[in-house]
Amino acid sequence: MATNTTDNTTGILLADGGCNITTATCNSCCSAPPSNTTSEEEPEAVIKVFMFEYRSQEFVELIGPRFEEHTNGRVKVDVSVVPWAEGDTFDTFLSEIENGARLGLGLYDVFVGSPVIVGTGAPYNGFADMTEYIKTNYLEEWLDIFPGFRESFSSYNGKILMIPFDGDLLHLFYNKDILEYYNFQPPRTWQEYNDIAEQVHNKVFPPTNKTLVGSCLGRAYGIGNAWTAQVLSSMTQTHGASQGSLFDTKDMTPLTSAALVETLKILERQLKYGHPDELNRYIDLNQISMENEECMLSLNWGHAFVQSSNQGRLGVGRVPGSQKVLDRETGKLVTCNKDICPNAVYYDDIGFVNYAPFAGGGWGGAVNGNISVEKKKLAMEFLTFFASKEESRKWVIPKVGSREYYAGYDAYRLSHMNVEDYVEQGFDRESTDAYLYSIKEGLASPNLVLEIRFPEVAKIWSILDIAVINHLNTTKGITATDPMRRDVMTDVNANWTKIISDYDARATMEKMEKMLPQYQKLRGVYGELNENKNLIGDVRWVGYALGFVIIAMALLFGGWVAINRKHRVVKISQPIFLHLICFGVVVLSCAIFPLGIDDSGSTERGRDAACASIPWLVSLGLSLIFSALFSKLWRINKVFAAAATMKRVVVTAKDVLTPFAILMTLNFIVLLSWTLVDPMVFERVYTDELTSYGRCVPQGNQWNGFVATLAILNFTALVLVNVQAYHARSINDELSESKYIGLATLSMFQILLVGIPLLAIVYDTPSAYFFVWCGIIFIICTTILLLIFVPKVIRWKSGASDRSTTANKFSSNWSHGNNASSAPSYSSQVENKNASRGDKRVSFDDKESELIHREKMDEIKDLVMEKHNIDITSIILKVERADEAVPVADYAQPESMADESA
């Protein structure tokens, strides 16, 4: 990264400089570049590069000529520079880029600078989108770049607009000899940093007999904001660059408040135990003091290690973090924990520490979006050549003492992490190991801090820098108070807010994009924060309420069956199938809950699990209901079909459960195969840039066969249930409930016939899709429960008094008909039948004996109804209409009667 230079007009940090500051300060060593020499032979094309004076010499003297040689002289590189020697500022450089973009000018082909230039030209489509070019010609090389630079440093709203070729990252530097002598460990927090600085400050180090300085950080106007931003970010950013470290990406709110107050406290202590000339010196102070072994601690970019002549004594590590972080809701600092700081590091002695590695500065190139297609391609070729693995290695891992060695480019590629490459060039192995580990730890961090790149960035940095420098100058040598610090924070907030407000007002007048959406696009969160995701929303709770109502009804009716399982009404209704119906309803209703899951408040794994469970719950729930109803109706029809032909038949549990088992087994096999082969997962589908909807989709193309198989299975079951209900339509309702079952199955058929097409219509509207699903499930479940159970409950409620009345009524009709002479008596029927069979006939000598016998028969009939779960009135009526009467015992018996008789 080399040295940092400063624009003394705006005070903006101009990233790192390109000269050796161990022998000279930045402003004196970076002279104006010479003009390119013109080749005698006219080139086929000229690439015009526009850049600030910083690092321009390398482009003129080395980078340009190498590319010209690479193209065999076919292309010439011409560099135009904005020099500060003539009084121009870095803001002028940015203004040139912005004006050219707004006017659609193609004066230059390539813009070279720090990443802040992306926010200057991108809002006006001033930079070319290099995404397709990189995918086609540069993908392998591109994937070698650290993700932090590849995905955030170079992008705007998902488009690649910049090629990085310098990976600026702040590191902690310390003198290993001094640290070991005083038995210290590298500081993990800013508190430890200041404590160590305090303990060694102004002490004489015996091995060198030099008076030590605790901390060395040049804080002159334009450089100090780097240290301020690093300390502040460790308290304000906990969830990565998409969250923002100086401004909230949600609403552009400045992230200062209590965090800036605490930052000022830390900076005050650093200054107290720092170099006496810190407020007047630039970054050269950091490096020179460490080289002279006068300083204990410092912060700097990677060039400080590469250019160091004392690498064996120079320790490199992660920049300290903070144990306190900003609560954005309250504006107060809170203690870091795993929930608040998901990327924090835990230490047994001090707890969680939030680290926010600061990738401030950096260097890269963008292509003008207003030039011809051929020129764009050529410009992209130039940038990718300079940033390639082979060429970048010359600059990032230079030979000690070479021209590239003094340029100071920092590592930004994975291929730059091979320690052997550094050792071959003359670097110390142990120190290089520590240096590369610090880079990997920082650039791979999910909480990497990126420099702000939106418009007016120079003014934003300048306000912060001026406020901090003035405060440190004012409070130097005295004890600052919190009111003084809060005044600084208030001024910074007010000035930042005004800058944003003024820009937005101008943007509105000129019909430009305001600052917030530009900031969000630069951080890659514009779509995420402004997207209409068509979430299910509050309708979810309506659906969940319906689900709980269904479950409560099923449990209520299931409990009623269990409690009254010995009651005649329940026993003759076959309790096992009633329980299966309740269980199937509960399973089906549970599908409502995973149907209501989307991106809000759920993990990716949870959403995928919910999607995979939906087919199981819907299919198995319907199968349980259909198979229970089918088995119940089939059993009744089989018994009465036998009774109509005067044959005896015994229907066992195995007989009636076989259809149930077959249907459930087939569904289970298909569902299991589907889950293993092509499971459902949650996916977000985008209809345009800011509109999307979530849905459950299969991972492959095999799902069609599984869905078709399940549909055929369950639709066939529904048809068979309706067929059985049709056949049972004339059977006495007191015994079979066939009429209600038929109504329930017909209702299910109708709701599915209407509901399935409706689901297809609202498929891309999650709230409507969810509500239709809930409606289908609710109607199916409540219809079944109410039609199956309510008639039984009514019968059960009046059953105790009605049973004897009903029995006597049918007994009287059986014995006497409507009057004494309308039908033969039961004794006469038995007597006549027995006589025809040659059996002894039962006769009565008087009316009293016959009456006693009838009463005994009524008692027997009641006993049969109570004990064997069957009302034999219907059978008796059939006997009366039969041409020939046979003993009641020879008639068809339901399973329960046959089993108990045995």
520-570 tens-digit pLDDT: 888 878 776 666 777 888 899 999 999 999 999 999 999 999 999 888 788
Q: With 90 as the cut, is the pLDDT of residue 87 above it?
A: no
> Given pLDDT bands bounded at 50, 70 and 90, which one contains residue 811?
very low
Check residue 495 and report its DSSP letter.
H
- The reported pLDDT for the residue numbered 601 is 75
389-433 tens-digit pLDDT: 999 999 999 988 788 888 888 999 999 999 999 999 988 899 899
77-86, 96-105, 224-233, 387-396: range with lowest mean pLDDT: 77-86
Q: 391, 397 in Cβ contact below 8 A?
A: no
- The reported pLDDT for the residue numbered 71 is 92
CA 320 to the chain's CA centroid: 30
No. of helices (H) and no. of strands (E), the chain: 36, 23
Residue among 527, 525, 463, 462 nearest 494 (CA): 463
For the ranges 282-286, 683-687, 808-812, 831-835, the maximum mean pLDDT occurs at: 282-286
> Given pLDDT bands bounded at 50, 70 and 90, which one contains residue 198?
very high
Query: Between 441 and 731, where is the model more confident?
Result: 441
Q: With helix as H, strand as E and coil as C, how does 737-804 read? A: CHHHHHHHHHHHHHHHHHHHHHHHHCCCCHHHHHHHHHHHHHHHHHHHHHHHHHHHHHHHHHHHHHHH
Percent of the chain scoring above 90 in pLDDT: 42
Q: In angstroms, rounded to a whole number, what is the distance separating the alpha carbons of residues 237 and 3? A: 27
57-71, 466-480, 742-756: range with lowest mean pLDDT: 742-756
Please, what is the end-to-end C-alpha distance for the chain in angstroms? 96
The HSE-up count of residue 776 (CA atoms within 13 Å, CB side) is 23
- The reported pLDDT for the residue numbered 881 is 45
- The reported pLDDT for the residue numbered 859 is 57
Q: With 70 as the cut, is the pLDDT of residue 271 above it?
A: yes
* Region 826-832 average pLDDT: 43
* Region 613-617 average pLDDT: 91
Query: Between 202 and 856, where is the model more confident?
Result: 202
466-520 tens-digit pLDDT: 999 999 999 998 899 999 999 999 999 999 999 999 999 988 888 788 899 888 8
In this structure, the number of other CB atoms found within 10 A of the CB of residue 586 comes to 21
- The reported pLDDT for the residue numbered 224 is 86
Query: Between 3 and 459, where is the model more confident?
Result: 459
pTM of model > 0.85: no
Q: 17, 40 in Cβ contact below 8 A?
A: no
> Given pLDDT bands bounded at 50, 70 and 90, which one contains residue 648?
low
Query: Between 427 and 4, where is the model more confident?
Result: 427
For the ranges 60-64, 491-495, 836-840, the maximum mean pLDDT occurs at: 491-495
Rounded to the nearest 5 degrees, what angle is found at the Cα of 674, between the Cα atoms of 673 and 676?
65
> Given pLDDT bands bounded at 50, 70 and 90, which one contains residue 213?
very high
If you average pLDDT over every residue of the chain, what do you get? 81
**DSSP-assigned beta bridge partners for residue 322:** 354
236-269 tens-digit pLDDT: 999 998 899 999 999 999 999 999 999 999 999 9
Q: With 60 as the cut, is the pLDDT of residue 378 above it?
A: yes
Q: With 90 as the cut, is the pLDDT of residue 116 above it?
A: no
φ/ψ (deg, to 5) at 321: -120, -165
Q: With helix as H, strand as E and coil as C, how does 291-329 read? A: HCCCEEEEEECCHHHHCCCCCCCEEEECCCEECEEEECC
Q: With 80 as the cut, is the pLDDT of residue 31 above it?
A: no
Both structure tokens of 621:
């729930």
Both structure tokens of 698:
């299969």
What is the helix (H) or strand (E) element at residue 663, kind and residue range? helix 653-677
Q: With 50 as the cut, is the pLDDT of residue 20 above it?
A: no
Query: Between 615 and 41, where is the model more confident?
Result: 615
Q: In angstroms, rounded to a whole number, what is the distance separating the alpha carbons of residues 342 and 484? A: 33
